[in-house]
Amino acid sequence: MSVTVSVRIPKKLRDEAKRYGINISEVARRALEEEVKKRQLEEATMAARLLGEIFSKIPQGEIVEWLREARRER
């Protein structure tokens, strides 16, 4: 499923893109996909950082014991 999105650009820019055979829709789609991926990576990085801070407060021996228990349950 897809949706239509409109964007206003200067006429001169549209004319130049047309002159060079640039598919504006494709360029806009790729740029938006890249921006979304960038934001997702930033969000995942922040979540990992937060988890790191949380785990750093838990004693290492306790984490090791949790892992051993999880392995035994398999």
Average pLDDT over every residue of 36-45? 98
Determine what percent of the chain falls in helix, strand and coil, rounding each to the nearest 5.
75, 0, 25
On whether residue 3 sits in a domain, the answer given is no
Residue 53: per-residue pLDDT: 95
Average pLDDT over every residue of 26-38? 98
> The domain containing residue 31 runs over which residues?
11-73
On whether residue 30 sits in a domain, the answer given is yes
On whether residue 38 sits in a domain, the answer given is yes
Residue 30: per-residue pLDDT: 98
**Which segments of the chain are extended strands (E)?**
none
Average pLDDT over every residue of 5-33? 97
Instruction: Tell which residue, 4, 46, 20, 57, has the closest CA to residue 12.
Output: 20
Confidence of residue 74 (pLDDT cuts 50, 70, 90): confident
Task: Report yes or no on whether pTM surpasses 0.75.
Answer: no
Residue 33: per-residue pLDDT: 98
Domain count, the chain: 1
